[in-house]
Amino acid sequence: MNRRMGAALAAIALVITTGCAVNLAKRSPWDIQQLSQLSDQLEQFKTLAQLKAEEADQLRAAKALLEQRLSSSEASVGYDERGLVARMLDQVLFDSGKASLRRGAFTVLDTVAQVLQQFPEQHIGIEGHTDNQPIRHSGWVDNKALSLARANAVADYLVEKRGVSRGRITVSGYGEERPIASNDAADGRQRNRRVEIVILPRSSQLRDGPRPRSNLLIPEEEGCVEPL
């Protein structure tokens, strides 16, 4: 909501609550309907602002817990436009070309699950990513299929082994489409092979209105998106 709309809604609220500037009996039904709609928008704006403040506190607390309990070699934790992101390299979770969790992955995901359970109202995005090297011998159709299978493996563990609600989770596989480093060098390709667990802000759902959770962050055509 822009500044002009916010000012307009504030003015409408003053008019509605005080009654000092508008005699509703003299207004047309259309005018009254418009005032009512603007009043509803103002209430939604107030609710959104309060929710954003509460969420900011929750995300800061979640970030602090993840940083305290996970080593830098296990995950990096930070914010982006989606929300709070815990980024794990594929070698922490999977063997090369595989989508079955390594035994060493369990400790990392157990820690993440403990934090997620402390914030039960937050939705969670689990995203799989790869480098741009073509699939050759692993049996997967392409990188996107591998990335989705890995994201599903993480989601299944959190749900089946650690009790995270399946209804909170959206799973996505993007393959090589969203690199965070250049694929021209080995270290860049290593960074791109990752799984990201994103704590999604509830305020974005309120702001944008009801819509499928699989579209919460991206349109479906941009990747393999599989709502659980």
- Residue-wise pLDDT tens digits, 23-54: 555 566 666 666 677 766 666 655 555 657 78
40 and 75 within one domain: no
Considering its fold, how many domains does the chain have in total? Answer: 2
Lowest-confidence segment of 41-45, 68-72, 154-158 by average pLDDT? 41-45
Please answer whether residues 86 and 75 qualify as being in contact, where contact means their C-beta atoms are separated by less than 8 angstroms.
Answer: yes
Mean pLDDT of 146-159: 98
Tokens at 191, concatenated: 């960074």
Q: Which domain holds residue 44?
A: 1-53
43 and 100 within one domain: no
- Structural domain contains residue 89: yes
If one compares 8 and 107, the residue with the highest pLDDT of the two is 107
222 and 116 within one domain: yes
pLDDT at 57 over 90: no
The one-character DSSP state at 20 is S
80 and 23 within one domain: no
Domain boundary among 28, 53, 78: 53
* Angle between helices 3-18 and 29-69 in degrees, nearest 10: 120
Q: What is the pTM of this model?
A: 0.69
Parallel, antiparallel or unpaired: strands 169-173 and 83-89? unpaired
